[in-house]
Amino acid sequence: MEKVIGIDLGTTNSCVAVNEGKGAVVVPNRGGYQTTPSIVAFAENGKRLVGHIAKRQAVTNATNTVFGAKRLIGRRFDSEEVAKAAGGVPYEVVEDAQGGCQVRAGGQTFSLQEISSFILAEMKKIAEDYLGEPVSKAVVTVPAYFDDGQRTATKEAGQIAGLDVIRIINEPTAAALSHSSSRAGSINNLAVFDLGGGTFDISILSVSDGVYEVISTGGDTLLGGTDFDRRIIDYLAESFLAQYGLDLRADKVAMQRLREAAENTKCELSFKRTAEVTLPFIATKDGQPIHLQQSLSRGRFEELIADLVERCVEISRRTVEEGGLETADIGEVILVGGQTRTPLVQQEVEKCFGKNVGRGSNPDEVVALGAALQGQALTNEDSDMLLLDVTPLSLGIATVGGKVSQLIPKNTTIPTQKKHSFTTVHENQSAVKIVVLQGEAEEVSGNKLLGEFLLSGIRPAPAGVPDVEVTFAIDADGIVSVTARDKDTGTEQSITVSVSGGLSDDDINRLIEQREEFEVDQKQEETAGAAHYEVESLHRKVMDLLPAAEASIGGDDLHTIMDVLAAAKSAMNSRDPGLLQKSQEQLSEVYESLRAYEAK
Amino acid sequence: MTLHRLVLHLHSGAGAGSGPEQPDEEENYDFSSPDEDDFDGDIEIEGGSDDEDGGPSAFEQALAEGPAGAAESAELGAPDSSEVPFSGAAAKGLDLRADQISAIEAAFEGIADKTFYEVLLLPRNAELRAVKRAYYRLSKEYHPDKFYRKNIGPYKEKLEAIFNKVTEAYRTLSDDEARKDYDTLVLGKSGRDVSSSSEATATVDFVPDALRKKQAAQGGKPAADKAAKSKKKAPAPVFIQKLQKQLATRIAKARKHMEEGERALAQGRNGDAASNFQLAMTLDPRNTKAKALFTKSRTAHRNGKAEEFYRRAQEALISEDHKRAAQLLQEAVDCKPTRGKYYSEFAKLINEHTLQQRVALEHMKKAVEVEPRSVEYTMELAAAYVDMGMPTNAVRAYERVLRLDPKNSVATKVLKRLK
């Protein structure tokens, strides 16, 4: 069976892993890095950049550099979360026809699925280069607290990138999978504390003999390293404001520099007591350039983020309780996500669980490794591993008056189904509308709308007589589906969905075609690039040998050589593969004969 | 019919049910036992057996062994043309080994009537760790992921049924309270005659219709008075007792919602009232009062909302915000499509400010359609037809007016002019 790769599609960084031998390994990218920034940019010449190369030009090309797409994917434009996230980014976030989000960069508009697909395609390529064979199957991870819309959108992104996403699994669960269980035959309770760039997740698992059972899960999809950075940015900007009367946050380019500085400072303070922030020529006042010079101590930083860390701990406690356990019952705590390197975070987690936290494994890589392992477990018969995950959000339907009736409570093991009977309230009513929601709020308005399902084609009958059984199912990816059956006739009831957001099949097909075209173009460019390099190198070599050989070569021969050189130059300019190929052959011949001359 | 829906509500547990979907599901839930003689109509809430190792009860044995019983279990696992009988070699065309097939068949046989302990292969006194281990062990065998994207044909449904039951068993037995309830009510753990306790009486009240009919047919013996019977008589099926308990819970919940709803209604909170009545209706479909109150409160709620939108639309009109007024009137129409007033006002608004006469006309037609006896709306419609140069329609409209109000002078005059 072909290989399945594991991809950790993170808010700030992504990572890809493959299965090798008995375990999994992370595949470094072309630059030799284990992780690749989840950044997509559009250069002035229209070229699309992904990863480190995109990050490097982020400051000078702020409005066309898209980062943190994960905070927007699968969300409604008019949601509080999007308002919060969109407010802090230099690129434009706009609403699409269905009320979802899109971004504007490089003079074009993209759906978030597309942006994420560019990153997934890049990770796919990294794996393919390493394995030396094409890859089409992957397990992709998402925050445990992602809802149905966000999961579906992530799957769509994979589809556009040419990946069959065979499973979507939760990040903390993936991290647990890559953590080897200590003693055979015993049952361990494990807590995974995952604080990444954009999201916080905590999962409690019970592990025994290769079975990983998730007992409860909690989190906050808008709490992560980016928020820690924001605290530093505000601190720096406020002090600058006090000093110069200028708010740097209003300037997109300055903000980008501040963002980078904040990220670096945060990392520095993990192993230094004080950090210096220097940003020269950050702004101008009365025509004069002014600079930012500020120091930040670890203590002050900890004050700034104290409430964020406290929130993480509070959510952790609550999740342990929901699982019917106490913090003392937890045998091991695993830290995941770069943000857990912050000393204050480690300290508070240790205090909460009363034990030392595992610092062995690399918090940036464990999620991708776990994803690869799950891919292996699904496709390999001999695998001993089994994952029993849960749905993080309750599923319910709306009743008249705006209240929610819960059908599948949160922390229910998936896959799961629940059947519910519907009937009519008017005589000869031909359709019933079912509004499906995800969330814990009692009021409809506090939950996420999954979709409005219209059950039509109900036979005319007195009110209360028709009996339609609707099955609500959550599959192993955590994605909801609704099917209906008329119990009296046994036939499948027709159900139409008006989904909030998501791409249509046509959209996806179109984007897949675009991606394929792009890949073909890229390949051509690469071959052209290689040929160009060859021709250039040969051209130089010939030029080097020419002066010495000039004396011994006849006039005609010299003319021929000059023509070949000129043709090579124009071939290089045109970048035409055909011309380059020809020039390469010609130059090789010339070079060889000149070498022969030299030897004489 | 009522029984049917009741059963459906009761059976909306976490799993897909204790068996695969069958075309005539009535068969599965018919409360009369397959072998009629064994069942004398009493609800015996008797323990499965006295042996502690959780062996099959007399009834369950009868079910498995009796000819009708064999027929039922055979039906559940009936071979169809695509299924290959168990043989030493793997089934043709399916991605399953022979040992896997036999394991699935064995686990599936009689699964609907196995107790949770039997399903997990545990003794009654098994502690939590053992329950968990059992669940993990069985999960590794029957979880759908173990057969991911494999071609397993007819075994897919059986696997689902098995795994759902295994999960349900784990959930019940690993939760202290749920396990206690299960042991007492369903299995009669303490061995005492639960049928004579008040608990049993309460549950016996909710005897499903089919059962009651049967009791009546057999001489109307009141069930609660019977003392404990010997094991010779078949005890009530395990799943009946479970359903009864679930039913009791639902009825209690429904009652609470009724109270809440009536309270809300008294306080004028029509929306909350409607919500509560709807929930009560769902939980207890036999409650006609709930349905009546639901309809009443929903109508009141909608009326209230529609009027509210209308009022705000008027305000918007005064402040010349026509776009907003149009939106609000549309909301009012959507809320209460049976009132002509909103259509009429909407039509006027469109007419005056957007010159979309055709659209306005449609709305006026709607107003007349929902309130055909209104002279006012019909007059408006007729005038609109005249404005738009549709004399034939106008004539018909005015004639209608005169039928409703023969003394209407305006109509008479215009009609004369048109003709």
* pLDDT (tens digit per residue) in B264-302: 888 888 888 888 888 888 788 788 888 888 888 888 888
DSSP B183: I
Q: Say if residues A379 and A19 touch (Cβ distance below 8 Å).
A: no
Single-letter amino acid code for the residue at A276: E
CB pairs under 8 A between A and B: 99
> So what's the pLDDT on residue A228?
95
Confidence category of residue A185, pLDDT binned at 50, 70, 90: low
Please give the Cα distance from A477 to A474 (Å, whole number).
8
Per-residue pLDDT, averaged over A427-453, amounts to: 85
- Burial classification of residue B198, based on how many CB atoms lie within 10 Å of its CB (0-12 exposed, 13-18 middle, 19 or more buried): exposed
Choice between B44 and B343, residue whose per-residue pLDDT is larger: B343
Asked if residue B220 has pLDDT above 60, the reply is no
Confidence category of residue A37, pLDDT binned at 50, 70, 90: very high
Asked if residue B156 has pLDDT above 50, the reply is yes
CA-CA distances (angstroms) from residue A228 to A70, A238, A334, A350, A404?
A: 17, 16, 21, 20, 35
Helix, strand, coil percentages, rounded to 5, for chain A: 40, 30, 30
Residue whose C-alpha is closest to residue A373's, from A24, A9, A124, A8: A24
Residue whose C-alpha is closest to residue B195's, from B39, B47, B40: B47
> Which of A15-29, A525-539, B36-50, B324-338 is predicted with the least confidence, judged by mean pLDDT?
B36-50
> Which of A158-162, A320-324, B151-155, B367-371 is predicted with the least confidence, judged by mean pLDDT?
B151-155
Q: Say if residues A416 and B143 touch (Cβ distance below 8 Å).
A: no
> So what's the pLDDT on residue B46?
30
DSSP A358: B
- The verdict on B136 touching A (C-beta cutoff 8 Å) is yes
Q: How many helices (H) and strands (E) in chain B?
A: 20, 0
- The verdict on A415 touching B (C-beta cutoff 8 Å) is yes
Single-letter amino acid code for the residue at B356: Q
Q: Say if residues A450 and A146 touch (Cβ distance below 8 Å).
A: no
Single-letter amino acid code for the residue at A294: Q
Single-letter amino acid code for the residue at A68: G
List of chain A residues whose C-beta atoms are within 8 Å of the C-beta of residue B276 = 401
Considering only residues 224 to 243 of chain B, which have any Cβ-Cβ distance to chain A shorter than 8 Å?
Answer: none
Please give the Cα distance from A134 to A544 (Å, whole number).
42
Q: Do B140 and A210 touch (CB under 8 A)?
A: yes
How many other CB atoms sit within 10 Å of the CB of residue B386? 18
> So what's the pLDDT on residue A493?
63
- Give the phi and the psi of residue A359 in degrees, each rounded to 5: -110, 10
SS3 B398: helix
Closest Cα of chain B to A341: distance in Å? 34
Asked if residue B64 has pLDDT above 90, the reply is no
> So what's the pLDDT on residue B193?
32
- Burial classification of residue B347, based on how many CB atoms lie within 10 Å of its CB (0-12 exposed, 13-18 middle, 19 or more buried): buried
Question: What is the secondary structure of A108-147 as a DSSP string?
Answer: EEEEHHHHHHHHHHHHHHHHHHHHTS---EEEEEE-TT--
Q: Do A465 and B1 touch (CB under 8 A)?
A: yes
Please give the Cα distance from A158 to A7 (Å, whole number).
10
Residue whose C-alpha is closest to residue B411's, from B387, B363, B376, B364: B376
> So what's the pLDDT on residue B353?
67
The partner residue sitting opposite B8, judged by closest CB among A208, A469, A490, is A469
Q: Do B8 and A421 touch (CB under 8 A)?
A: yes
Please give the Cα distance from A249 to A589 (Å, whole number).
61
Identify the H or E element spanning B100: helix B98-108
- The verdict on A357 touching B (C-beta cutoff 8 Å) is no
The partner residue sitting opposite B23, judged by closest CB among A403, A420, A490, is A490
CA-CA distances (angstroms) from residue A457 to A494, B328, B374?
A: 7, 31, 33
Confidence category of residue B4, pLDDT binned at 50, 70, 90: very low
Confidence category of residue A184, pLDDT binned at 50, 70, 90: low
Q: Which residues contact B416 (CB under 8 A, 6 or more apart)?
A: none
Nearest C-alpha in B relative to A404? B275
CA-CA distances (angstroms) from residue A45 to A42, A59, B136?
A: 8, 17, 57
> Which of A155-159, A327-331, B53-57, B239-243 is predicted with the least confidence, judged by mean pLDDT?
B53-57
Per-residue pLDDT, averaged over A205-209, amounts to: 90
Nearest C-alpha in A relative to B140? A386
Nearest C-alpha in A relative to B277? A400
> So what's the pLDDT on residue A182?
52
Please give the Cα distance from A547 to A557 (Å, whole number).
14
Closest Cα of chain B to A85: distance in Å? 30
> So what's the pLDDT on residue B356?
63
CA-CA distances (angstroms) from residue A157 to A70, A71, A173, A179, A196?
A: 11, 14, 21, 28, 21
> So what's the pLDDT on residue B96?
84
Return the residue matching tokens 């670890």. A298
The long-range contacts involving A481-489, CB below 8 angstroms and separated by at least 24 positions, are: A482/A434, A482/A436, A482/A451, A482/A453, A484/A453, A484/A455, A486/A458, A486/A459, A487/A421, A487/B4, A487/B8, A487/B25, A488/A459, A489/A459
Single-letter amino acid code for the residue at A483: T
Token pair recorded at residue B280: 């009560």
The partner residue sitting opposite A420, judged by closest CB among B12, B16, B275, is B12
Please give the Cα distance from B273 to A516 (Å, whole number).
56
> So what's the pLDDT on residue B33?
34
Task: Round the average pLDDT of chain A to a whole number and report it.
Answer: 88
> Which of A266-275, A332-341, B221-230 is predicted with the least confidence, judged by mean pLDDT?
B221-230
Q: Do B144 and A209 touch (CB under 8 A)?
A: no
Residues linked to residue A419 through DSSP beta bridges, in sequence order: A471
Peptide bond into B208 cis (omega under 30): no
List of chain B residues whose C-beta atoms are within 8 Å of the C-beta of residue A208 = 132-133, 136
Q: Say if residues B296 and B305 touch (Cβ distance below 8 Å).
A: no
Q: Say if residues A85 and A69 touch (Cβ distance below 8 Å).
A: no
Buried b (16+ CB within 10 A) or exposed e, B84-112: beeeeeebeebebeeebbeebeebbebbb
Please give the Cα distance from A347 to A357 (Å, whole number).
9
> So what's the pLDDT on residue A189?
92
Q: Say if residues A500 and A449 touch (Cβ distance below 8 Å).
A: yes
Residue whose C-alpha is closest to residue B208's, from B17, B32, B417: B32
> So what's the pLDDT on residue A110?
95
Active site residues of A: 8, 70, 171, 194
Confidence category of residue A216, pLDDT binned at 50, 70, 90: very high
Q: Say if residues A334 and A366 touch (Cβ distance below 8 Å).
A: yes
Asked if residue B234 has pLDDT above 50, the reply is yes
Residues linked to residue B5 through DSSP beta bridges, in sequence order: none
Considering only residues 166 to 195 of chain B, which have any Cβ-Cβ distance to chain A shorter than 8 Å?
Answer: 167
Closest Cα of chain B to A187: distance in Å? 8
Our CA angle for A356, A360, A364, nearest 5°, is 110
Q: Say if residues A314 and A320 touch (Cβ distance below 8 Å).
A: no
CA-CA distances (angstroms) from residue A493 to A417, A458, A469, A472?
A: 18, 8, 9, 14
List of chain B residues whose C-beta atoms are within 8 Å of the C-beta of residue A384 = 140
Residue whose C-alpha is closest to residue B307's, from B268, B267, B273, B336: B336
Highest mean pLDDT among A22-26, A27-31, A593-597: A27-31
The partner residue sitting opposite B5, judged by closest CB among A379, A413, A467, is A467
- The verdict on A491 touching B (C-beta cutoff 8 Å) is no
Asked if residue A490 has pLDDT above 80, the reply is no
DSSP A470: E
> So what's the pLDDT on residue A183?
54
The partner residue sitting opposite B145, judged by closest CB among A420, A421, A476, is A476
Nearest C-alpha in A relative to B2? A465
Q: Say if residues B270 and B293 touch (Cβ distance below 8 Å).
A: no
Q: Do A379 and B295 touch (CB under 8 A)?
A: no
Token pair recorded at residue A75: 């969300």
Please give the Cα distance from B375 to A114 (Å, whole number).
58
List of chain A residues whose C-beta atoms are within 8 Å of the C-beta of residue B301 = 400-401
Nearest C-alpha in A relative to B128? A187
Asked if residue B334 has pLDDT above 60, the reply is yes
Considering only residues 3 to 32 of chain B, which have any Cβ-Cβ distance to chain A shorter than 8 Å?
Answer: 4-5, 8-9, 11-17, 23, 25
- Burial classification of residue A245, based on how many CB atoms lie within 10 Å of its CB (0-12 exposed, 13-18 middle, 19 or more buried): exposed
Closest Cα of chain B to A367: distance in Å? 20
Q: Say if residues A401 and A458 touch (Cβ distance below 8 Å).
A: no
Strand positions, DSSP E, A54-130: 65-67, 92-95, 101-105, 108-111
Token pair recorded at residue B272: 């909350």
> So what's the pLDDT on residue B82?
39
- The verdict on B146 touching A (C-beta cutoff 8 Å) is yes
Q: Do B139 and A386 touch (CB under 8 A)?
A: yes
Question: What is the secondary structure of B197-235 as a DSSP string?
Answer: SHHHHHHHTT--HHHHHHHHHTT---GGGPPPPPTTSPP
Please give the Cα distance from A168 to A176 (Å, whole number).
15
Distance, CA of B50 to chain centre: 37
- Give the phi and the psi of residue A271 in degrees, each rounded to 5: -130, 5
> So what's the pLDDT on residue B28?
33
